Amino acid sequence: MPLYVWVALGSAAGGLARFLLGTLIQQKLGSTFPLGTLAINVTGSLALGFLLRYTLGTAAVGPEIRALLTSGFCGGYTTFSTFSYETAALIEDGDYHRAAWYLALSVAFSLAGAFLGIALAREALALRRRF
């Protein structure tokens, strides 16, 4: 199977996961602050940090599964375009306060998530080598 098929399968699953989880979070917790997208982007950044580092660090996972999980799943799951749209919508409303918070929280937590994912992958690989 060519790589793009793996990417297609992964992004279908990632998009679906974002749709279901993001809607659930937004319905339960968010009012008009885009908490759903924030949660998706932060968890997705953590997941990609972990998955990319972990799958690159072990020969047990080939490029197909790596493409499925990273470019595919995480690519379909996280969304920069929605983050941009929702920030623009807040600015359009003159809601600069929440726009600034959304911007700052998204960048800070997503970056922190990526570092945490990388750290977790390092630990997991170390653990794997020990046994």
Partner 1 sequence: MTGPEAGRPMHGLKGERVLMRIHIGERDKYRGKPLYEAIVELLRSRHYAGATVLRAVMGFGATAHLRTDRIELLSLDLPIVIECVETEERITAILPEIDAMIEGGLITLERAKVIMYRANLPPEQRTVSWQMDMRGLWEPDPSGPA
Q: Under the rule (CB under 8 A), what is the footprint of partner 1? A: 19, 22-23, 26-27, 30-32, 34, 36-37, 79, 82, 85-86, 89-90, 93
Cβ proximity to partner 1, 55 vs 79, nearer residue = 79
Shortest Cβ distance from residue 60 to partner 1 (Å)? 35
Q: What is the DSSP string of 6-28?
A: HHHHHHHHHHHHHHHHHHHHHHH
Q: Would you say 37 or 106 has its CB closer to partner 1? A: 37
Furthest-apart CA pair in the chain: how many Å?
56
Question: Which residue lies nearer to partner 1 by CB, 89 or 120?
Answer: 89
CA 60, 44, 67, 64 torsion-angle sign: positive
